[in-house]
Amino acid sequence: MDKVKLEVMANWTPDKVEEVCGVKEAQVLRVARLMSENRPSTLVWCMGQTQHSIGNAMVRASCILQLALGNVGKSGGGTNIFRGHDNVQGATDVGPNPDSLPGYYGIVEGAWKHYAKVWGVDYEWIKKQFASPAMMSKPGITVSRWIDGVLEKNELIDQDSNLRGVFYWGHSPNSQTRGLEMKRAMDKLDLLVVVDPYPSATAAMAAMPGKPEDLNPNRAVYLLPAATQFETSGSVTASNRSIQWREKVIEPLWESRSDHMIMYQFAEKLGFGKEFVKNYKLQKVGGMDEPVVEDILREINKATWTSGYTGQSPERLKAHMRNMHLFDVKTLRAKGGKDKETGYDFTGDYFGLPWPCYGTPELKHPGSPNLYDTSKHVRYGGGNFRANFGVERVGVILLAENGSHSLGADITTGYPEFDHVLLKKLGWWDDLTEDEKKAAEGKNWKTDLSGGIQRVVLKVHGCHVFGNAKARAVVWNFPDAIPKHREPLYGTRPDLVAKYPTHDDKKAFWRLPTLFKTVQQKNIADKVYEKFPLIMTSGRLVEYEGGGEETRSNPWLAELQQEMFVEINPKVAADKGIRNGDRAWVSTPTGARLNVQALVTERVGPDTVFMPFHFSGRWQGADMLAYYPNGAAPVVRGEAINTATTYGYDSVTMMQETKTTVCNIERA
């Protein structure tokens, strides 16, 4: 934090802050005073901070601010990221990221061996499923860059071949950038599969005529109808890491199938169906085998000690759902009582058992309502900062200082992550049972499937299994160890680009070359800011969700918002001769032109236009109705803003830069 303070004092005087962010110095000061004089307070964001080429720096800066204010580990404090819909957090937790197995275990050999044991399959058998050992331990291509996995020259991709098949599974193409290039990529594929309750814009884009030179004549496109949330059961995890059990309302309609049934059927076709369901019972649904969803959660509980996803059994979650009225809506804590159906006593539990919630029969962990809360015993939901990054760096101790520890801990200073070696060193090894000793030998807290290390550390000695360290304000393995401002790749201020240039290009990043300065400098050289003088940004509406295919197919919601629109400031409208309700063309450097309705409002500044991202079904002025499967087109169709968005990705996460590009606007 001292290094962060020096950086801020040396480089971020109020006038420089105002120059970069456009917010008046007096207003920044007012907000700073408000937060400093009213503690704890929280910071909340959605995509506004993340979807930039420096999104990681913005998020880290927010976390550092809350640390400086003492707002971390306290009720009403923290940094809170709102998700767009239910179970975004839960989906992330169970391993869709291309650099991680479920529970953020990574893809190194030890992580694979851990899951081989969990899944009950031979590690060597898993290795044989990969084209090469290198592919097994190499982060894959992120969903934001699949387009380049198809279009990029193969010699520039860090894998043997370009992508040839893509599964769009519950993912809308219109929520992803670079729509014109995406259409080209779709046309070049050998195989495109759409798994969704609604065909989504993917189906229409695939059917729409493209450039003859791009079209693969042998391409196959399949639409697989998936069940909606009302036609299936299972656990879903909210932004605060609380988990709910969702019950099936109706049986799947027509030919639709649950996601886990579809996955099992794919596994069967690909020759590893038996391995896929080793831990699951099968039940008949619509005459077909489907894995029992409770067993899927039990497998997660067995495996994912890393995030503390081990105590939220189906039985406990169902008991919580039946007794929601007995939990305090502010603290989340149960006021007491037993579940009449099972006799389960949830006294002291926090609703939804937010992770970490460590599940051993003796422990009955209540869940953690606030991360990093040292005022509680770890057995009752307390915690501290993880010791993820070692114990020392360049002579600086990374562990917590003396006296900084969770309530009631036997160790009152910093300590590293627990493993069999540390337990023996501390003399705690004999607190394990003989069976636990056999299971824990050679293991750490993340891979000890017996739960013995966790039980002894948490229950017997009041310490946290993941150690006790300092927050990492300086992230030495990121492009900017201390968060810095860098101008976006597409902007309207060449003077600021000279002061705050973007990152250098990366030759191989998530298997792909990733451009930063090359794009930014070309835009400056071509004076793109003169041809496209307005900043274009995007965001959500309350009426629709995600790509909008389902919500725009709902006639009651569709009635509320019938037009894709662009918000423009009255000054811009006057300069362009555009009145409220007129049709307008929005153009960007990609060559895209979107025909939308103008909404003249002072909600945006004179340098900015705003467009929502929930629309699809029109393509540069033309209706795509004819390209949807018969009867499956949404009620409301409109231009997708991401048909026009430009190249740009975060330097750490590869998140797409949808919040900042440039455009021009003219009356249609």
State mean pLDDT over 59-76.
Answer: 95
Q: What is the pLDDT of residue 608?
A: 97
530, pLDDT greater than 80 = yes
**pTM for this prediction:** 0.94
pLDDT class of 81 with cuts at 50, 70, 90: confident
CB-side neighbour CA atoms (13 Å) of 331: 10
pLDDT class of 477 with cuts at 50, 70, 90: very high
pLDDT class of 552 with cuts at 50, 70, 90: very high
State mean pLDDT over 64-79.
Answer: 94
The pair of structure tokens assigned to 168 is: 């769009």
Instruction: Give the tens place of pLDDT for each residue, 431-472.
Output: 999 999 999 999 999 999 999 999 999 999 999 999 999 999
Tell me how crowded residue 399 is: count the other CB atoms within 10 A of its CB: 18
CB 641 within 8 A of CB 615: yes
- Listed in sequence order, the residues at least 6 apart from 395 whose beta carbon sits closer than 8 Å to its beta carbon are none
What share of the chain in percent tops pLDDT 90? 92
State mean pLDDT over 300-316.
Answer: 94
CB 359 within 8 A of CB 310: yes
Q: What is the pLDDT of residue 20?
A: 93
214, pLDDT greater than 80 = yes
Q: What is the pLDDT of residue 95?
A: 86
Rounded distance, CA 321 to CA 340, Å?
A: 12
Instruction: Give the tens place of pLDDT for each residue, 466-475.
Output: 999 999 999 9
CATH 2.40.40.20 fits domain 494-667: yes
Q: What is the pLDDT of residue 457?
A: 96
Rounded distance, CA 501 to CA 497, Å?
A: 5
Q: What is the pLDDT of residue 389?
A: 93
- Listed in sequence order, the residues at least 6 apart from 30 whose beta carbon sits closer than 8 Å to its beta carbon are none
Rounded distance, CA 516 to CA 502, Å?
A: 6
**Cα distances (angstroms) measured from residue 564 to each of 200, 417, 663:** 17, 52, 17
Rounded distance, CA 43 to CA 71, Å?
A: 9
Q: What is the pLDDT of residue 658?
A: 93
CATH 3.40.228.10 fits domain 2-81: yes
CB 457 within 8 A of CB 463: yes
State mean pLDDT over 354-376.
Answer: 90
Q: What 3-state class would DSSP assign to 584? A: strand
Tokens 């918002």 — which residue? 561
Q: What 3-state class would DSSP assign to 333? A: strand
198, pLDDT greater than 90 = no
Residues of the chain with CATH 3.40.228.10: 2-81
User: Please, what is the Cα angle at 100 between 94 and 101, to 5 degrees?
Assistant: 55
Residue type, 532: F
The pair of structure tokens assigned to 100 is: 């991680």
pLDDT class of 83 with cuts at 50, 70, 90: confident
Rounded distance, CA 197 to CA 200, Å?
A: 8
Q: What is the pLDDT of residue 361?
A: 63
Instruction: Give the tens place of pLDDT for each residue, 133-173.
Output: 889 999 999 999 999 999 999 999 999 999 999 999 988 89
Tokens 């991202």 — which residue? 613
Rounded to 5 degrees, φ, ψ at 290 are -135, 130
User: Please, what is the Cα angle at 234 between 294 and 552, to 5 degrees?
Assistant: 160
Rounded distance, CA 494 to CA 529, Å?
A: 8
User: Please, what is the Cα angle at 61 between 55 and 62, to 5 degrees?
Assistant: 95
CB 433 within 8 A of CB 450: no
pLDDT class of 327 with cuts at 50, 70, 90: very high
362, pLDDT greater than 80 = no
Q: What is the pLDDT of residue 475?
A: 95
Which has the closest alpha carbon to 67: 79, 75, 84?
A: 79
Rounded distance, CA 264 to CA 250, Å?
A: 21
